[in-house]
A and B are shown apart, each in its own frame.
Chain A
Amino acid sequence: MHSGIVLLILAMGLVTYIPRMLPLVVFHRVQLPPFWQGVLKNVPYATLGALIVPGIFFIQDDKWFGVLGFTSAVLAAWLGANVIVVVLASVAVLSLYALM
C-alpha cells in the first residue's frame, strides 16, 4: 500500500468522524432551550427536502428519468407503501422506461 494514500484515508476518516461524533458527545445530557430543540426536531424533514431536490432531477442526462422516478416514488409513498416497496417500485418503473 502506498503510504500517502493511507495517510489520506486516515485524515479523511478523521474529518468525517468529527462532525458525526461531536454533537452527540458534547450535547450528551445537555438540555437545549426549547426553541433550539424545536429547530433540531425540524432538521430531518428539512434535510430530506434538500437531499431530494434538486438532486433527483439530475440522476441522468435524460431529465424525464428523474421526473418519472420522483413521481412514482411520491405516488407509491402517498398510497402508503412501505419504504422498501417505494424503492423497488421506482426502480421497476425506471427499468421499464429504460427498456422503451
Chain B
Amino acid sequence: MEPILATNKLSPFRQGAQAGISIAIGYMPIALTFGLLAKTTGLTFLETVMMSMIVFAGASQYIALNLLSLGTGTFEIVLTTFVLNIRHFLMSASLNEKAESDELWKKALYAFGITDETFSVAATKEGTVNASYMFGLIALSYGSWVVNSGIGHLVGASLPQSLQTSMSVALYAMFIGLLVPSFKKQRKTMWLAGLAAMINSVLLFFHMPKGWAIVVATLVSAVLVQYAVNEREREDA
C-alpha cells in the first residue's frame, strides 16, 4: 500500500501541470485570436492547427500571418521567424544550468516546448527542474495553445471584446507574478530586471528589431550584474 502521506506530495509531472495553469489561461485569448486571424488570412482549419502544433511560438505565428497576407515569400518569413527566436538560445542555455541530468532524448523532447512563458515558469521555480516537471508544464501550455487555435478558427470569433481587451494583460501579469517574489529573496534580481527593461526600451525606441533587442538587453544586463557581483566579492575577500 502507498503511504497516505505521499499523496500530499505532488509528482513532478503534476507540479508542472499545476504551474502550467496560468500559462494555459494566458494563451487562451492569444490562441483564439490566432485561429481567427488565420482563417481570415485564408489558412484552412488543418493548416492552422498544424502550424500551432509544429511551430508553437505565438509571436512568430502572428508575424507569419501578417507576412503571408502581404504576399511575402517563404524564405523571408522563415528568416524573420529565426531572428525572432534567437532569444531561445539564451533561455535554453540558462535552463540547462537548472536542468537535472535526464537522458538526452528527454531533454531534446522537452526543448520543443520552451517558450517565453514555460521558460519563465521553470526558471523561477525553486530548486532544479527535471523532464517530468517540464512535460507537465508543457502539456498544459501546448494543449491550450493548440486547442484554442483550433477553436478560434472553427468558431470564427474570439472572446467578447471587453474580456479580450482585459485578458491581453494576462501573460504580462504572469511574468510580473513570477518576477516580483524574487526581489524579496535576492536584491540583484531587481537590478537584472530593471536594467534589461531599460535597455530593451531604449533599443526598441531606436527601432532595433524585437528579436535582437531582447537578446542584447538580456545579455548586457546579465553580464554587467555578474561582473558587479564578482567585483564586490573580490573587495569583500
Contact = CB atoms under 8 A, between A and B. Distances in A.
To the question of whether A and B form a pair in one complex, the answer is yes
Interface of A: 1-2, 4-13, 15-17, 19-25, 27-29, 32, 35, 37-56, 59-60, 65-66, 69-70, 72-74, 76-78, 80-87, 89-92, 94-95, 97-99
Contact of B89 (A23, A60, A66, A89): A23
B221 A42 contact: yes
Contacts of A11: 74, 78
Contacts of B107: 24-25, 28
Contacts of B199: 50
Interface in B208-229: 213-214, 217-219, 221-223, 225-226, 229
Given A44-B124, A45-B193, A73-B169, A51 B55 contact: no
A19 B193 contact: no
B55 A16 contact: yes
Contacts, number: 281
B170 A91 contact: yes
Interface string B156-187: 00000011011111101111111111100000
Interface of B: 19, 21-22, 25-26, 43-44, 46-47, 50-51, 54-57, 60-61, 64, 68, 74, 77-78, 81-82, 85-99, 101, 104, 107-108, 111-114, 116, 119-121, 123-124, 162-163, 165-170, 172-182, 188-189, 192-201, 204, 213-214, 217-219, 221-223, 225-226, 229-230
